[in-house]
With several copies, the nearest count.
Chain A
Amino acid sequence: MIQIRFHGRGGQGSVVASNILAAAAFLEEKWVQSFPFFGVERRGAPVTAYTKIDDKPIWDRSEITEPDYVIVLDASLVAVVDVTHGLKENGMVLLNSESKPEDIELGDGFRIATVDATEVAVAHGLGSKSAPIVNSAILGAFSKASGEVDIKSLEASILKMAPAKHKENAAAALEAYEKVQF
């Protein structure tokens, strides 16, 4: 089973991202499960979501404590949330950041990938510079950096599930797929 944890802010679409990722893997005939951390967070507050992907039905419904991947939608969260908590040995953190992976300091024992999802999103008209909607972009990057889900499946899933601007979201994912660094 592959376990992915998302960190974002209320209103940024982390939960939608976790669902789109699950749906993409599902298109590849995987069994999936995704869910938010169950809180009462308001817009702006840090939030967490999870996706599990497996070859067989997933019966375990408990929270993910040892993720294989961590996806951070908003780099400013790194300062306030322990994003790598429990991350598996040799796991990967994917950050929305202008920086290069090698410039990110998060500790040892895992891989780092980065993509400037904000730039990509804004370029595709997804939100504004101060409130970009980066979830599709970062998923595109995840596809490439992790290799866990095909960008085609992701695209299909975005086209189906994005709450609005389907094409723009799909395009952003494709662009971020190309731009991710790891």
Chain B
Amino acid sequence: MAKSVEDLPYIPLMSESSAVNKTGVWRVIRPIVNQEECNQCYTCWKFCPDVAIQIDEEGNILIDYDHCKGCGICEAVCPKNCIEMVKEE
């Protein structure tokens, strides 16, 4: 929301993470990981330009759908072909 002049700092500093931008709304196709087949090589994690793939404590791949834009890189690079891109509804 737009702030009034009194509520703004003296300079427009960037103090908030861009993670508040929910870029997941851009997505028209959605990556779905087949955890069964995943061998946890993390190739997908490595190449995601949106930092939208996380590794959980067990070492599993998690897709952050709030930010994943659906570029399809993870699908393209997965050596196990265990990511599938499906149309968003």
Contact = CB atoms under 8 A, between A and B. Distances in A.
A107 interface: no
A46 interface: yes
A76 B88 contact: yes
A9 B26 contact: yes
Contacts of B51: none
A44 B26 contact: yes
A58 interface: no
A128 to B, nearest CB: 11
A74 interface: yes
B68 to A, nearest CB: 11
Interface in B69-89: 69-70, 85, 87-89
B48 interface: no
B25 interface: yes
B29 interface: yes
Interface in B15-73: 23, 25-29, 69-70
Where chain A touches its partner, the secondary structure class is loop
B26 A45 contact: yes
A117 to B, nearest CB: 14
A37 to B, nearest CB: 16
B50 to A, nearest CB: 11
Contacts of A44: 26-28, 69-70
Nearest to B89: A76
A80 interface: yes
Nearest to B21: A45
Nearest to A12: B28
Interface in A26-66: 44-46
Contact of B29 (A9, A45, A80, A130): A130
Contacts of B28: 9, 44, 74, 76, 130-131
A9 B28 CA distance: 10
Interface of B: 23, 25-29, 69-70, 85, 87-89
15 contacts: A9-B26, A9-B28, A44-B26, A44-B27, A44-B28, A44-B70, A45-B26, A46-B25, A46-B26, A74-B28, A76-B28, A76-B89, A129-B87, A130-B87, A131-B28
